[in-house]
């Protein structure tokens, strides 16, 4: 059977991820992932239009219910995540038990994810996050991210508790990284990232999960969040 993946591209992606701390990669099995996401959304009694505009009509309560119910279908999405990740990491690894669902609605201040590294939330610097949007992110609906080196420079200033004002942050952090639907962003736990104010008439729905490779230092605090995926799963 012909591989879904282009091995040369995979090698290039891994090198970029290791060298710089992040990479945007194509998901060859995105169609299957999206079809299952749509059926989950439909099952939860919402019509899954391509742009998720139903979300804008939900009350806060309904939105929370939607997120809670969504969580129960994690394994369906994990199945596709594993196919994708297995190709990059062809050995046993630890995967977050459930992906998180995030929504970044236009003009909604509370949906903005503030500047952070996943290490700040208790993960290890060796944890790799996979972030997948279900819409094109071309106009600030998505995430902005700094590579490992740039992140270190900013983090040193944060460590010294110097007040860090917006205008010393590199301009990359004011612009969402441009990704088409069907791509995934992979990044290490020590890369600074955030979402920017979404000024466009488009709701972004995304999932994110994390993996941990064997032989790397595990954050004890987060151990319970992961489960081992054996090779051949």
Ligand X SMILES: O=C(O)CCC(=O)C(=O)O
Give 13 or 140: the residue with its C-beta nearer to ligand X.
140
Instruction: Quote the tokens at residue 68.
Output: 């809670």
Rule CB under 5 A: is residue 132 a binding residue for Fe ion? no
The candidate with the shortest Cα–Cα distance to 208, out of 122, 95, 39, is: 95
The candidate with the shortest Cα–Cα distance to 177, out of 155, 214, 206, 156, is: 206
Of the candidate residues 118, 140, 141, 147, the single one contacting Fe ion (CB under 5 A): 118
227 burial via Cβ count (<10 Å: 0-12, 13-18, 19+): exposed
Q: Distance (Å, rounded) from C-alpha 142 to C-alpha 132?
A: 10
Output the smallest distance, CB 203 to ligand X, in A: 12
Give 162 or 180: the residue with its C-beta nearer to ligand X.
180
Output the smallest distance, CB 118 to Fe ion, in A: 5
Q: Report whether 193 contacts 115 (CB < 8 A).
A: yes
The candidate with the shortest Cα–Cα distance to 192, out of 142, 150, 156, is: 150
| Number of residues near Fe ion (by CB under 5 A) | 1
Phi-psi region of 27 (alpha: psi -120 to 50; beta: other; left: phi over 0): beta
Spell out the residues 6+ positions from residue 195 whose beta carbon is closer than 8 angstroms to its own.
104, 111, 112, 113, 142, 143, 144, 176
Give 115 or 229: the residue with its C-beta nearer to ligand X.
115
Where does this chain bind ligand X (CB under 6 A)? 102, 104, 113, 118, 129, 131, 143, 193, 195, 206, 208
Stretch near Fe ion under the rule CB under 5 A, chosen from 71-79, 85-93, 115-123, 165-173: 115-123
Stretch near Fe ion under the rule CB under 5 A, chosen from 15-23, 29-37, 111-119, 142-150: 111-119
Output the smallest distance, CB 231 to ligand X, in A: 25
Alpha helices in 44-91 (DSSP H): 60-71, 74-88
Stretch near Fe ion under the rule CB under 5 A, chosen from 12-20, 65-73, 114-122, 140-148: 114-122
Output the smallest distance, CB 166 to Fe ion, in A: 19
Output the smallest distance, CB 207 to ligand X, in A: 9
Residues binding Fe ion (CB under 5 A): 118
């Amino acid at each position: 059977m012909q591989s879904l993946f282009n091995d040369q591209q995979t090698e290039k992606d891994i090198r970029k991820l290791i060298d710089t701390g992040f990479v945007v990669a194509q998901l060859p099995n995105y169609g299957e992932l999206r079809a299952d996401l749509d059926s989950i959304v439909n099952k939860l009694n919402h019509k899954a239009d391509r742009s998720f505009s139903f979300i804008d009509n939900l009350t806060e309560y309904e939105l929370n219910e939607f997120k809670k119910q969504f969580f129960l279908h994690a394994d369906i999405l994990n199945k596709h995540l594993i196919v994708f990740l297995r190709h990059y990491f062809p050995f046993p690894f630890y995967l977050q038990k459930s992906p998180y669902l995030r929504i970044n609605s236009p003009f909604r201040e509370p949906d903005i994810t503030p500047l952070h590294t996943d290490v700040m939330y208790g993960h290890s610097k060796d944890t790799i996050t996979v972030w997948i949007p279900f819409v094109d992110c071309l106009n600030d609906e998505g995430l902005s991210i700094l590579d490992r080196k740039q992140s270190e420079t900013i983090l040193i200033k944060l460590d010294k508790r110097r007040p860090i004002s917006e205008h010393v942050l590199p301009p990359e952090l004011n612009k969402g990284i441009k990704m088409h639907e069907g791509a995934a962003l992979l990044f290490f736990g020590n890369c600074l990232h955030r979402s920017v104010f979404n000024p466009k008439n488009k709701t972004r729905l995304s999932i994110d999960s994390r993996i941990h490779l064997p032989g790397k230092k595990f954050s004890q605090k987060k151990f319970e969040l992961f489960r081992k995926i054996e090779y051949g799963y």
